[in-house]
Amino acid sequence: MSIYKRDLLIYAGISIFAIVLAQLFPAYITQIAVMFLMVILAQTWDLQGGQMGYNSLGNIMFFGIGMYVSSIIQIAMLYGWGGVGEYTSASGSIKVEILKDNYLYGMFLGAFAAGIVCVLFAFVFGQIFLLFRGPYFAIGTLGMVLAVAELVSSWEWVGAGGGLSLPVYPAVDPTESGRLYFYCFLAISAICFAFISWVTSTRFGLALNAIRDDEAKAEAMGIRTLRYKVSSWMISAFFLGLAGAIFGNMSNFIEPLEVAFPTITFGVFMVVMALLGGKGTVWGPVVGAVIFHIIKETTWTYMLGYQWVALGLLIIVIVIFFNQGIMGSLAERYPHWFGIKIEEDPEEAST
């Protein structure tokens, strides 16, 4: 059994476990859904940060763009494109009765369109930003997300800084919407895991690793590095756009700085989670996301406002003392679990 198939089976097991957990503890269903969102965030970050060595601090931009695209499409389906401005300027005072089928149709169409638009954005931005290397890429992307957030918050048509509220899911049973978003995130994260772990096991993944190890040499070996880099960013952007679209519907109200482009929450979490789990590994982001989310949810509320200070300290501690992450340290001790063959030094073996 190949390692890829084994990983898929394990992930299917985790998914089934999560479904059972969600059925047993329906009160925590939103928490588990957000946990799968975290897994998606960490995995998509790792495709650049871990596999390709391009440490982005601005991947969260696609999350926000996806959220806005999907929301605007859903509103436009109800009111037509001309009615969007009217709806957003009314800032939530327009309430509408919507049928369940229409809602679901709008949500899935919006999410799909969000993914496509994000891919286009990644293609265009990638042509410029992926030319920058190392620290310039990190700072450039950080600036990019800040600038986009600023532009969105002064764009009246999409509700500017005040944000916009979305139609509410029409359900008699209040737990039904929670279940819907839970299954959406579960499905996206499963597809994301399957796709990313497949793509990193192919030639494409090897090319990304070559770019990480030495970009100049990779280019000299005939790898068209910019194409690979942009493609990898497009893959991440697609899944981030989908996740953002669903998250917009889940939170029902979107706003540029805190919800759509949360640079210091999700934008930093995704880096921390991937580093905690071990970057550049298939399981690292998943493990990191699960552990980080559980720690965060159990301790966050007790820190009385000092949670952001704690987050900063956590980043510093992980970076300084725990650079390899959980899976990275495991790979060092048990390389055969990861399919890494270590050739024994013949001289050492003989002595």
Site for other proteins contains 57 (CB under 8 A): yes
Site for other proteins contains 131 (CB under 8 A): yes
- The footprint of other proteins on this chain (CB under 8 A) covers a number of residues equal to 42
134: left (phi over 0), alpha (psi -120 to 50) or beta: left
* Region near other proteins per CB under 8 A, out of 76-84, 110-118, 127-135, 336-344: 127-135
Site for other proteins contains 308 (CB under 8 A): yes
User: In angstroms, how far is CA 155 from the centroid of its own chain?
Assistant: 25
Site for other proteins contains 346 (CB under 8 A): no
Shortest distance, position 243 Cβ to other proteins, whole Å = 23
Report the distance separating Cα 121 and Cα 26, nearest Å: 37
Contact 284, 277 (CB under 8 A): yes
Question: Closer to other proteins at the Cβ: 29 or 148?
Answer: 148
Site for other proteins contains 144 (CB under 8 A): yes
Shortest distance, position 318 Cβ to other proteins, whole Å = 9
Q: Considering only residues 4-43, where is the footprint of other proteins by CB under 8 A?
A: none
Site for other proteins contains 295 (CB under 8 A): no
Residue 336 is encoded by which pair of tokens? 């055969």
Closest by Cα among 309, 324, 329, 318 to 272: 318
Q: Which of 81, 105, 157, 306 binds other proteins (CB under 8 A)?
A: 306
Site for other proteins contains 268 (CB under 8 A): yes
Contact 44, 239 (CB under 8 A): yes
Burial of 209 (0-12, 13-18, 19+ CB in 10 A): middle
Task: Name the pairing type of β-strands 253-254 and 164-165.
Answer: antiparallel
Question: 10 Å Cβ neighbour count for 8?
Answer: 16
Closest by Cα among 147, 139, 191, 150 to 12: 191
Contact residues: other proteins, CB under 8 A: 49, 55, 57, 128-129, 131-136, 138-140, 142-144, 146-147, 150-151, 153-154, 215-216, 264, 268, 271, 275, 305-306, 308-309, 311-316, 319-320, 323
